[in-house]
Amino acid sequence: MSQIKYKRILLKISGEALAGDQRRGLDFTVVNSVCSVIKKCVDEGVQLGLVIGGGNFWRGVKDGADKMQRSHGDAMGMLATVMNAIAVADALEKHGVDARVLSAVEMNKFCEYFTRDTADRYLNEGKVVIFAAGTGNPYFSTDTGAVLRGVEIEADAILMAKNVDGIYSADPNTDPTAVKFDTLTYDEVLARHLKATDTTAMTLAMDNHMTLVCFALKDPQNIYRVVCGENIGTIVKETM
């Protein structure tokens, strides 16, 4: 059995990452690969909360900009995260992992309403808890929702699994001189306007002394490697 560094984590996965090469919808080859690694973590005693973005269906303000009212676009984005949560919960169950979807917006036909105590109880029972519908409010990203839930469940760290393998000085897709950071402080991320999370999410993490690890989901095994403390991606914390 490997040495586990983070006993309780909040894992944030971008919706686009679950779409694979098709970029829209769900690629169940990717979904099942992620679920397999989540099962590996749970089998070793890791308590795991999960937040999934909705960008594979709808990107809120980015898809609705200049076409619809912002709150309406964000509402569609929240619903997209619920669809992803239900799909991943179903896949986890097929892998033998007990999962529960808790939504920030009441929709009891599809999932349970979120409370901190319900989430904590399920985590202590060994269930994977999937937090859906962001914060339940417009103008907040799923990154902010992930940090909020991570703080509420008192996670040891928040793992941000994205399409980029860490935090860079610039966009590595457009700037060949971009430099990847191994570690950063919250102040450095905010002062340099680095594209790690949105400002609200980073400030919330800083105010609550919450460690963030940003890494690539391209290889889902990276989730397990980070849980075991391997230096993958970029770690953001209070001090270097």
Q: For the whole prediction, is pTM greater than 0.95? A: no
pLDDT score at 196: 80
What Rg do the C-alpha atoms of the chain give, in angstroms?
17
pLDDT (tens digit per residue) in 166-178 = 999 998 888 989 9
How far apart are alpha carbons 148 and 194 in whole angstroms? 20
Residue 51 has pLDDT above 80, yes or no: yes
How far apart are alpha carbons 173 and 96 in whole angstroms? 38
pLDDT score at 66: 76
Contacts with 85 (C-beta within 8 Å, 6 or more apart), sequence order: 50, 52, 101, 103, 111, 130, 131, 132
Domains and CATH numbers, the chain: 8-237 (3.40.1160.10)
Q: What mean pLDDT, rounded, does the chain reach?
A: 93
Which tokens belong to 173? 């897709």
pLDDT (tens digit per residue) in 158-210 = 999 988 899 999 988 889 899 999 999 999 999 998 988 889 999 999 999 99
Pairing mode, strands 234-237 and 212-216: antiparallel
pLDDT (tens digit per residue) in 88-140 = 999 999 999 999 999 999 999 999 999 999 999 999 999 999 999 999 999 99
Closest CA to 143 of 226, 236, 229, 70: 236
How far apart are alpha carbons 173 and 48 in whole angstroms? 31
The predicted model gives 48-55 an average pLDDT of 95
